[in-house]
A and B are shown apart, each in its own frame.
Chain A
Amino acid sequence: MALDSRLTSELTPELKDIVQEIEAHARNCGLDFFPTIFEMVDYEQMSEIAAYGGFPTRYPHWRFGMEYENISKSYEYGLSLIYEMVINNNPCYAYLLRSNSLVDQKTVISHVYGHCDFFKNNYCFSFSNRKMLDEMANHGSRIRRYIEEIGHDEVENFIDVCLSLENLIDQHGAYIKREETVKLRTSTFDDDLSKLQNTVLPKLPSHRSYMEEFINPDIYLKEQKKKIQKEREREKSFPENPVRDVLKFLLDHAPLNSWQRDVLTIIRQEAYYYAPQGQTKIMNEGWAVYWHSKIMTEMMLKDHEVVDYCDHYAGIVQMSSQKLNPYKIGVELVRHIEKRWNRGQFGVEYFRCDDPSVRQQWDSKQNKGREKIFEVRKLHNDITFIDEFFDEDFCDEARLFTWAQDKRTGKTVIENRDFLSIKKQMLDALTNFGQPIVDVVDGNFKNRGELLLEHKHLGKDLKIDWASECLKNIYLIWSRPVSIRTVLEAETRLLSFDGVQTKIAKD
C-alpha cells in the first residue's frame, strides 16, 4: 500500500542513486532486509508521522494531537530533532527529513538498512505482522466508523480506558504456548462436596496396625485432607492459573458490546506490535549504529564530509551522566562481542584464566566476530543480550556507574562502579519492559464475580494514584468491583475499586 501521496514525495535522483549504492553495500556486508522504500518529508510531516507512531493512517485520538504539538514545538524551539523513522513492515518504509544535509541522509539511509535487517531477522520480531501498515489503516477505518455510529466522545473515552491498560499484555506471549487456562466447569458444588467426603486419603503404607497411628498420625491426615481441598479449590477457581495477558482475559470474559470488544482488540493488537521494539531497543539501535558507521566510514564517506559525519556521530553516541544512551551501549557492546570472538576470548579456557594481563592479551585469532554478531542479532533480546555479554571488562571500559541521591546534601552523586550492582540495575530496568508484572488471578473473586489482579512485586511499589485510576478503568470494562493485590512499603495490600470508592485494605 502506498502512503498518502499528499504527505510524502519522491527522492531526488541524486538520493535515489545513493540509496542504490548503500543498499548494495549493505547486502555485501551480509545484511538481509525487506524491500525498503524511502520517502522525503518535511519536519511537519515528520512530526506528524512520529506522533502517529510511524503510521499516518492510524485511528484518530487526541493523544496523537498532543504528541504532535510536543514534537513539532520542540523542533521549532530547536530542542530535538527526529532524524529518521523506519517502520517494521514488508516492504519497510523509512522517512528522510528533507532539510538534512547529504551526509546526514547517507548516514540515515545506512542506519535504516541496519534496522530493516534487524526487523526481518531478530527472533522477537518473528511473529510481527509485516502488513502492519495495512492493518493500522484498517484499524483507523474501523474506529472512524464507530465514531460515526456511536459518537466521538463515547468512542474516544473508551479508547482512553483501553489505552490506560495497554501495558497489561503478556510480553512473551507470542513466543510461548501457555497452557489453556480456562476449562469448562463440569461439576456442581454438591458433586465436589460429596467427592471430597468419599475421597480415600492417601496413607503411608504401614503393615502393623499398632504402628498405624505413628506412621499416619492424625496431624498428617489432616494435612493431606487440606491439601486435597486446596487442589479442589484451585480447580474450581477461574482462571485456573494466573493469566498474564489481562487484555485477552477481559476480551474473553468481560461483558462488552461488539464495538467495545473490537476497540479493545485493536488496542491489544497494536500493543503486541510495538512490544518487540521495546524488548530490543538497545540491540536494535546498537546494530543500526554499528552498520551505519561501518558503511559510512569504510565505503560511503567523501573526504569533505568526514568532519560533519564525526560531529553527528559523536552526538548520537553521546554519553550522559544521568541515563544510559541505548545507541552508545548498544553499539559498543556489539563491537565488544565482535572483538572477543575475533580474538577467541570465549570458551572454558578463557573463562578459567584468572590473570587479567593474560586475558587482555588473549588472541587465538579465531576471527569469528562477524559470524557471532549476526548470530546475536538473530537470537537475543535486550535482557539476554545484556545478561550474556555485559561483562566486567566492558563495564570498566564503558566507565559506567550507578548514581543516587546523597541524603546529606541532596545532590545526585556517583554511588558506585561495582560491576554486579550496575548489571543488576540494568537488568531490573529491562525486566518486563520496565513495566510492572500484573496477572489476573481470580475472575470470580469472593464468589461474587469480582476481578482480582495480582502485582508480582519485585522490589518496586506501584504508583498508587495511577493504579487506582487504572482500577476504575478496568471497572468500566469488567462492570464488577476490581481489586489488585500488591505490596506497599513492604506490606501486602489489597487496592480495590467497587464502582464508588477506592479502598486500600490489609490482605
Chain B
Amino acid sequence: MKMETDVNRFRKIVRGKIKENLKKFISSGELIGRQGKKIISIPLPRIDLPHFQFGSNPQRGLGQGEGNLGEPIDQGESQTGPNQGKASDKPGQHALEVEVSLEELGDILGDELGLPRIDNKGKKNISQKKYKYQGLLRNGPESLKNFKRTFKEALKRQIGMGDYSSSNPIVIPIKEDKRYRSFKVEDRPEASAVIIYMMDVSGSMGEEQKELVRLTAFWLNTWLKLNYDNLETVFIVHDAAAREVDENTFYHTKESGGTLISSAFKLCEKIINEKYPASEWNIYLFHFSDGDNWSGSDTSDSFHILDTVLLPSCNMFAYGQVESRYGSGQFLKDLNKHYGDDNEKIITHSIKNKEGIMDALKVFLGKGK
C-alpha cells in the first residue's frame, strides 16, 4: 500500500526522535504508566516543518456566543466536536503521541546504549517440543498430500514410460507417485527468565531513592523483555525482615525499621528453590539499597548466601546503590572488597541521581549476561 511507505518513513523519523530524547525519557519517568501489554505511547514534540510564521503575540481571538464583557469563556469546550464536519487543515498545537511497540523501544535502548544481546548460556536444555513440517514421505494421510510433487512424480513416470503426449497433456498420478508432507518433532529452546527485584525500604530510603529504583527497573524490564520470550518479575521489599509484594506495593512501601540485607537474600533463595529452578530459568537478581546494613555480621551472612546459593544459580547479581542523605554506602564497599573484580556475575553500581540511570543501565546490561 502506498500510504504504508509514507507511514514507515514517518515512523523512522519518530524512531530517530525517540533516540534523540532517550536520555530525557530515561531520567524523567515520563514513560512510566504509559505502557500497555505490547505497546507504549510516547509523547513527542510535534514534528513540524518550520515556516515563516507569526509568533505567539499576546493571546487573542474571536468567539461567538452569549456572555457579558469580562466573563470568562469556557476553556473546556472541545474545539472539534464529533459533528465538526471536516477535519481542520491546520495542525493542532498539541504534542504528538506515537505508539511504539515495547520491542521497538527495547531495540532503541539497546542501540543507543550499545547493549550486547543477552547470551543465555547453560540453559540450552530448556526446551519446548514443537512440530515442524519438513521433507516428504511416500506414505501419509490424504490430507497432507503434496499435490505439486505428486503430479511432478507422475509426470516423470509418464514421460519415462512414454505415456505422455504434449498434445494431450493428461497426467494421472498412481499410488507410487503420491508424496506426503512429513513432520518432525523439534526441540525449540525457549528462553525464560525471572527478574527478582529486591529493595531496601528501611527508613533511610526516601521517595527520591525509590523513584530512581523504579525508573531503573522500568528500563531493565524493557530490555530483558526483548531478550526473553517469557519474563517474570518478583518483587521483594525488606527492612529487618523481607516479604514478597506486588509491583505497586514494591514502590510505595514505607517502613521505618533497621536493615538486614540477609533477610532479602534468604527469601530470594526460598523463592528460587520453590518456583524458579536454576536449570530452567535465567535468573536476574537486582538489589537496590542505600548501602546501610545493620551490622558487619549480617553483611558476612549475606555474602555467605550469595556465595553458596544465589551466585551459582543466577545469571547475574546486580547491586544498585542509590544515594541517600542517611545511607553510609558501606555495603557497596563491602561487596567490592569481598568480590573484587574476580566474580563476573556480580555487578555493582552507584546511582547518584536520575542522570545516572543511563550509566547504571549500561553497567548492568553491558556484559550481555
Asked whether A66 and B47 contact (CB < 8 A) given A318-B81, A318-B83, the answer is yes
Whole-angstrom CA separation of A489 from B176 in the bound complex? 93
The chain A residue with its CB closest to the CB of B13 is A62
Asked whether A316 and B83 contact (CB < 8 A) given A60-B9, A68-B6, A461-B57, the answer is yes
The chain B residue with its CB closest to the CB of A429 is B62
Partner of A425, one of B5, B13, B62, B82: B62
A80 located at the interface, meaning its Cβ lies under 8 Å from any Cβ of chain B in the complex: yes
A372 located at the interface, meaning its Cβ lies under 8 Å from any Cβ of chain B in the complex: no
Residue-wise, chain B 6-25 has the 8 Å CB interface mask toward A (1 for contact) of: 11111111000000000000
B248 located at the interface, meaning its Cβ lies under 8 Å from any Cβ of chain A in the complex: no
Q: Which residues of A contact B82 (CB under 8 A)?
A: 78-81, 315
The chain A residue with its CB closest to the CB of B5 is A60
Q: Which residues of B contact A66 (CB under 8 A)?
A: 10, 47, 96
Partner of B73, one of A56, A62, A318, A413: A413
Q: From DSSP, what is the main secondary structure of chain A's interface residues?
A: mixed
Q: Which residues of B contact A470 (CB under 8 A)?
A: 50-52
B87 located at the interface, meaning its Cβ lies under 8 Å from any Cβ of chain A in the complex: yes
Whole-angstrom CA separation of A199 from B298 in the bound complex? 105
Q: When the two chains form their complex, are residues A413 and B84 in contact, meaning their CB atoms are under 8 A apart?
A: no
Whole-angstrom CA separation of A284 from B11 in the bound complex? 35
Among B62, B80, B82, which residue has the most Cβ atoms of chain A within 10 A?
A: B62
Q: Which residues of B contact A328 (CB under 8 A)?
A: 64
Q: When the two chains form their complex, are residues B84 and A318 in contact, meaning their CB atoms are under 8 A apart?
A: yes
Q: When the two chains form their complex, are residues B65 and A321 in contact, meaning their CB atoms are under 8 A apart?
A: yes
Q: Which residues of A contact B83 (CB under 8 A)?
A: 81, 311-312, 314-316, 318
Asked whether A403 and B3 contact (CB < 8 A) given A321-B74, A464-B55, the answer is no
Asked whether A463 and B54 contact (CB < 8 A) given A63-B49, A320-B77, A414-B69, the answer is yes
B184 located at the interface, meaning its Cβ lies under 8 Å from any Cβ of chain A in the complex: no
Q: When the two chains form their complex, are residues B64 and A325 in contact, meaning their CB atoms are under 8 A apart?
A: yes
Q: When the two chains form their complex, are residues A463 and B55 in contact, meaning their CB atoms are under 8 A apart?
A: yes
Docked complex: A46-71 residues within 8 A CB-CB of B = 48, 50-52, 56, 60-66, 68-71
Q: When the two chains form their complex, are residues B50 and A469 in contact, meaning their CB atoms are under 8 A apart?
A: yes
Asked whether A404 and B58 contact (CB < 8 A) given A412-B72, A470-B50, the answer is yes
Q: Which residues of A contact B74 (CB under 8 A)?
A: 321
Residue-wise, chain A 369-410 has the 8 Å CB interface mask toward B (1 for contact) of: 000000000000000000000000000001111111110010
Among B11, B13, B53, B70, which residue has the most Cβ atoms of chain A within 10 A?
A: B53
Whole-angstrom CA separation of A470 from B49 in the bound complex? 9
A466 located at the interface, meaning its Cβ lies under 8 Å from any Cβ of chain B in the complex: yes
Q: Which residues of A contact B8 (CB under 8 A)?
A: 65
Whole-angstrom CA separation of A79 from B5 in the bound complex? 26
Q: When the two chains form their complex, are residues A60 and B64 in contact, meaning their CB atoms are under 8 A apart?
A: no
Asked whether A466 and B58 contact (CB < 8 A) given A80-B80, A320-B64, A414-B73, the answer is no
Task: Given contacts A68-B7, A399-B64, A413-B73, list 4 more A-B pairs with CB under 8 A.
Answer: A69-B98, A322-B63, A425-B60, A460-B55
Q: Interface on B for A, CB 8 Å cutoff?
A: 2-3, 5-13, 47, 49-75, 77, 79-87, 96, 98
**Leading 5 A-B pairs by shortest Cβ distance:** A315-B83, A65-B10, A65-B6, A469-B50, A62-B9
Q: List 5 A-B contacts (CB under 8 A).
A: A51-B6, A327-B85, A413-B71, A455-B52, A463-B56
